[in-house]
Structure 1
Amino acid sequence: MGFADDHLVALVDEGLGNSAYLLDLGDGRALAVDSGRDLRALRAAAERRGLTVAYAADTHLHADFLSGAVQLGHDLGARILASAAGRRAFAHRALADGAEVDLGGLALRALATPGHTDEHLSLLLLDGSRKLGVFTGGSLIVNSAARTDLLGTDRTEELARAQYRSLKGLTELPDETAVRPTHGAGAFCSAPPGTERTTTIGAQEQADPLLAALDEDTFMAQLIASLGTYPAYFDRLGEINRHGPAVLDAQPALPALAAQQVRALIADGAHVVDARPAADHAAGHIPGSLSIPLRGQFATWLGWLLPDTAPLAFVVNDDQDLNEIVWPAYKIGYEHLAGRLTGGMEAWLADGNAQATTAFLTADRAVGRPYVDVRQEAEFAAGHVPGAVHIELGALNESADDAPTSPVVARGHGERAMTAASLLERAGHTDIAVLDGYTAAHGRQLAQGTEDTRS
């Protein structure tokens, strides 16, 4: 059996930019690699193929999602495979460098590849002496390598050097060896994020700029220079995965809440998350609510901008899938979900409560107002409106005081901009606006208006 698409299913989480894998072992059993806590897609893929997950392997203690291995062990009796160096506090087969697991015809060999994390393993799939492919987790990824700063800035250089040696070791595999990383396009663990998800050893020797580095010092400098910011919740999940996420005995739910209950929750310190589209939030929202429109990146911004310890109440539209709120929250360790406002804003207003609004402005109406750009540093550096105040969205909670008075916030289709506007409102700013339908042409119009204003 080859390492071919008819035996291997890649399960891509577009929002977090990660891939899990389900490998058909040919006898009704399957191997799951780096499965997340949201197991819906994996279960469906296994059911379609008539497979039972017999092994659940993790390449490392993830910093960006909770592992589903413990749940698979509980539900299906799957044997958990993980690094011995990870010191996980639950039953598993602890793999040291070079250890092999007989999968029944195929075998899995553990390769110690520290760098992204100390205990990182890559998992080489073998058919006898033939090397079919390697699951590289957060080690070698397409045209890059995963970041090395998750264990603290004081260890970034040390781990970058370890990453160099790990990647060099992987390139000793045959050129045709398939590479199946966990982190990929859109993942903040990538350094920098790429666009492709799978590759081969030979292709990476030709294309990966980090592998082209002349020596370890050059590699380290290039990797560290590419590191941007990452979501705050990354720092929490490693230890949760070490101890094992809580087993779920039932489908998590989002109970219905009356307006009075939401008001009481707010008074007790709960946060309100408005998951409706940006335009709906702009038209009317609960004062102080945080706009995080429901889309692929929902979990990223929830985990970046809010604590995991306070209750969360949600405002949604009737046509939105509540599972797409619950599971993204649970997969990053947010379990204090108080519920959702029944009847939406109509019920909130009918109960006599106030609402706030946020203006959408076209570019011509925004000329002359201070402009706040909330994109990532690399995006801002690639091009921005002259005179724009740059505050990354992830830093806005701490840096709201640095924003100008009466700001206009813009970014792409408006989701990040509306989130930023709601954060500024929570911090006490008033007269906040979001640029409606921002495009490059609007940016040029704003820039021209800025120059005219200065003159």
Structure 2
Amino acid sequence: MATLHLVPVIDEGLGNSTYLLDIGQGRALVVDPERDLREVRAEARRLGLTVAYAAETHLHADFISGVRELQHAEGATVLAPEAGPREFTHTVLHDGDTLDLGDFTLQALATPGHSPEHLAYLLLDQGRIAGVFTGGSLMVGTAGRTDLVSPDMTVPLARAQYHSLHRLMDLPDDTPVWPTHGAGSFCSAAAGGERTTTIGRERATNPLLQVSGEDAFVDALLGSLGTFPGYFLRLGEINRRGPVVLGATPALPTLSADRVKELHEQGAQIVDSRQPADFAAGHIPGSLSIALRPVFATWLGWLADPERPVIIVRGADQDPEDIVWAAAKVGFDTLAGELDGGFPTWRISRATAAGSLIEAGGMVSGAEASAAVIDIRQASEFAAGHVAAARNVELGGLAELLSDLPAGPLVVMCGHSERAMSAASILERAGRTNVTVLNGGAADWAREAGRSLETGL
């Protein structure tokens, strides 16, 4: 029996796990790699491994795949499902196919649902089940969403997902389950931070496996789905055609303030990655605030226009590599550049704008106490607990709902302040004034107001 050396490389922002498996003789299998391979490669170097195989469970919609990067740089053999044919060299696996990896054998299991072509991969050690890579089929406490292909496929794929999960339930209870999607993923992750599980645990506790019958499963799965970023509808096709191989870290050229102004006037977008307090203290008029943190890629992909150049304004302490790789993960391969010297260079001789950031106490008893409150969190977050009289307008849909917002002063809030500052910058671009951002969340308001939060929508 081989020793199982499996390393999960977790992207906290996108909510996904890439798995690096030592398959013997200095070689590795990587399952569902993202385009930003810095940590995967660091783990491989640490273990003295070269990536020999890069397997995909499905055509990913939430990130640009890294399989072509591994194929190009390391000669990795790409393994992929039969359906959804990719337009680059790969080895097609069908249901039941097996592949000798060396110390282990990989067996493909058709598990359509999250996508039509979805495969799970059973890992075998001398015929014994060592675990199963379930991608976006069976996940911790839930299953992958089925509404990413087309509206007319949502219910048929949900029915397929039902049968796929029950096929996986034929595995022994002690089988380790290694999903790709997890907490934080818009591909339908349940609450909680655990990212791996077992067949037996899911059989006993997964709510979707406690319902009776296929129709009840479909209703439960579809009823749990929230909104998702619009870029999900375009990345799958990029992954099918084959993403551009970047090789090295994408460049982020420096741009003078004059050049930034010129490009902005020509339609370029300015994305300010500094933290909310810095943005509030001063920023370039018309810029979009997206604070650099693990979820930067998600909100860049959701809020920025992929058809227009993007200029970055970052803090001196922010690593440009983190910015360009986050952008590349959601299809922004080439950024126009960054403001040379950052915002301090701009403010020397050019017009600036400022925002308003208040603590919870000011929202309770200060001048903003009478302002309309807009909570821009996801509906599920809002339903779990929100300020009385707050209105829920999700950040991802804010730009389409500007005319529906009440006139007059607004207080915008989220869980901390990052998303709320993004919303404030969108409102500023639309000409709204008297917009204040809460530096905190609903719990801070409740503590200051001495009141309980309301629940439900």
Partner of 1:310: 308
- Alpha-carbon distance in structure 2 between the residues aligned to 1:193 and 1:151: 24
State the secondary structure of the residue aligned to 1:287: coil
Partner of 1:268: 266
Cα deviation, residue 127, structure 1: 1.4
- Alpha-carbon distance in structure 1 between the residues aligned to 2:136 and 2:203: 17
Partner of 2:352: 355
Partner of 1:410: 413
- Alpha-carbon distance in structure 2 between the residues aligned to 1:280 and 1:191: 32
Cα deviation, residue 249, structure 1: 3.4
Q: What is the TM-score of this pair, normalised by structure 1? A: 0.95
* Residues matched between the structures, number: 447
Cα deviation, residue 174, structure 1: 1.1
State the secondary structure of the residue aligned to 2:24: coil
State the secondary structure of the residue aligned to 1:299: helix
State the secondary structure of the residue aligned to 1:125: strand
State the secondary structure of the residue aligned to 1:409: strand
Partner of 2:443: 440
Partner of 1:131: 129
Partner of 2:432: 429
Q: What is the TM-score of this pair, normalised by structure 2? A: 0.95
State the secondary structure of the residue aligned to 2:162: helix
Correspondence 1:392 to 2:389: no
Correspondence 1:295 to 2:293: yes
- Give the counterpart letter for 2:402 in structure 1: A
Counterpart of 1:29 (choices 27, 30, 36) is 27
Cα deviation, residue 189, structure 1: 0.4
- Give the counterpart letter for 2:401 in structure 1: S
- Contact 1:290/1:419, CA 8 A, preserved across alignment: yes
State the secondary structure of the residue aligned to 1:132: strand
- Alpha-carbon distance in structure 2 between the residues aligned to 1:391 and 1:378: 12
Runs of 4 or more off by more than 3 Å in structure 1?
Answer: 1-4, 191-194, 443-448
Counterpart of 1:401 (choices 394, 403, 425) is 403
Gaps of 5+ in 2: 452-457
- Contact 1:191/1:226, CA 8 A, preserved across alignment: no
State the secondary structure of the residue aligned to 1:357: coil
- Give the counterpart letter for 1:294 in structure 2: L
Amino-acid identity (%): 56
- Alpha-carbon distance in structure 1 between the residues aligned to 2:171 and 2:33: 25
Could you report, residue by residue, the CA deviation over 1:229-266 in whole angstroms, capped at 9, with x for unpaired residues?
01111111111110111111332121111100110110
Residues 301-380 of structure 1 aligned to structure 2 (within 5 Å)? 301-350=299-348, 352-361=349-358, 362-363=362-363, 364-365=365-366, 366-380=368-382
State the secondary structure of the residue aligned to 2:302: helix
State the secondary structure of the residue aligned to 1:220: helix
Could you report, residue by residue, the CA deviation over 1:109-163 in whole angstroms, capped at 9, with x for unpaired residues?
1101000000000001111221111000000000110111111222211111100
- Contact 2:249/2:321, CA 8 A, preserved across alignment: no
- Contact 1:386/1:447, CA 8 A, preserved across alignment: no
- Alpha-carbon distance in structure 1 between the residues aligned to 2:193 and 2:387: 26
State the secondary structure of the residue aligned to 2:54: strand
Residues 214-225 of structure 1 aligned to structure 2 (within 5 Å)? 214-225=212-223
